[in-house]
Amino acid sequence: MSILIDQNTQVVVQGITGRDGAFHAQQMKADGTKVVAGVTPKKGGQEVDGIPVHNSVREARAKSRIDAAVIFVPERFASSAIQEAADNDIPLIVCITEGIPVNDMVRNYHYVRERGVRLIGPNCPGLITPGACKIGIMPARIHSPGTVGVISRSGTLTYEVVHNLTRAGLGQSTCIGVGGDPIIGSDFVDMLALFEEDPGTSAVVLIGEIGGEDEERAAEYIREHVTKPVVAFVSGRTAPPGKRMGHAGAIISGGKGTSEAKVKAFGDAEVPVADKPDEIPDLLRERLGT
């Protein structure tokens, strides 16, 4: 099984006529995702790889059942795209766009929550249930179906970890990049709760990084609520304080967000932390007893 998406998920691509939107819409379709519609204002009536383009999400939803929206629009329009999807009750919104201002994301966070829909991202690679559905930009070829859930703040590290899992014969149920910005729609705790309830997930890999306190909150949640094996990796251990490393959220400030604090929190929750990504499969096998 999986969380959030499966072989029946129908997707609309917001920004489908742009360079990134068109390319990844075609890739998602080629990887088996049911991309049933695209949206670009004033471009209605066109097609992208056989996918009908509409002027609005409302128009797209009038023509097809929409289970999820993926956003590939420039940052100045991304908040409007998120809110448009939420206004049309799209249950899952995945925002790939990076560079959305923090103050705008604070408003977006509350906007989607008040409407009872879920946001993944922004500044994320999306999510994939191998062999069933991909929403975003993850390379499907390195994934394989299985029972290991993956949650990550880093897109590139997700690919490296998944590649190692697949090579070790450890397939994945669902892999999710939650995003690397200071304010994101769904965090580690949100995803851990879903994986804990999913009968098709036997264990979870959590990939964190410096900055913020999401990993500490995740460790506390694991200690109190998660019964399945969890292993972790924390990137950025050599980053100097005050210097942003890659993601907008990956910065140590005010003495908080250090790798040491995160590793300690996981240790207190009895979650083993790999020193290198390629150590994760062995740690996982130890936890699973295989």
Active-site amino acid positions: 247
Q: Do residues 42 and 69 lie in contact, with contact meaning Cβ atoms separated by under 8 Å?
A: no
Q: Which residue has the tokens 């925002």?
A: 95
Distance CA 3, CA 239 (A): 33
Cβ of 144: how many Cβ atoms within 10 Å?
17
Q: Cβ-count burial of 189 within 10 angstroms (0-12 exposed, 13-18 middle, 19+ buried)?
A: middle
Q: Enter the tokens of residue 160.
A: 């490296």
Which helix (H) or strand (E) element contains residue 106? helix 102-114
Report CA-CA distances (Å) from 144 to 50, 126, 162, 163, 273.
27, 16, 9, 9, 23
Distance CA 237, CA 71 (A): 32
Q: Which residues contact 103 (CB under 8 A, 6 or more apart)?
A: none
Distance CA 34, CA 245 (A): 36
Distance CA 240, CA 112 (A): 35
